[in-house]
Amino acid sequence: MIDHIQETQLFQMILSDAKNYAELIRLAKETEDYEALERYRDEVLTLKTPFNIVLNMINDALQGEAA
């Protein structure tokens, strides 16, 4: 039971962080702050948690800059 609670808490923390990054990404994309997007991508890459969805959002936004 304790393992399940710890896993749930970890998942909630990851989800909260992902939501925060999603909002930062949205704001950076709206203001075309591509330096911030690159910084967020670097931050996410240094984390040891599954942020693939957030990383994909950043990469998609940066590809939009190149287009």
At 18 the pLDDT is 80
Distance CA 35, CA 39 (A): 6
pLDDT in tens, 25-63: 889 999 999 999 998 888 877 765 566 667 777 788 888
pTM of the model: 0.58
The domain of 24 spans 2-66
Work out the number of other CB atoms within 10 angstroms of the CB of residue 32: 12
The stretch 4-22 carries a mean pLDDT of 78
58: CB partners within 8 A, 6+ apart:
25, 37, 40, 41, 44
At 35 the pLDDT is 93
Number of domains in the chain: 1
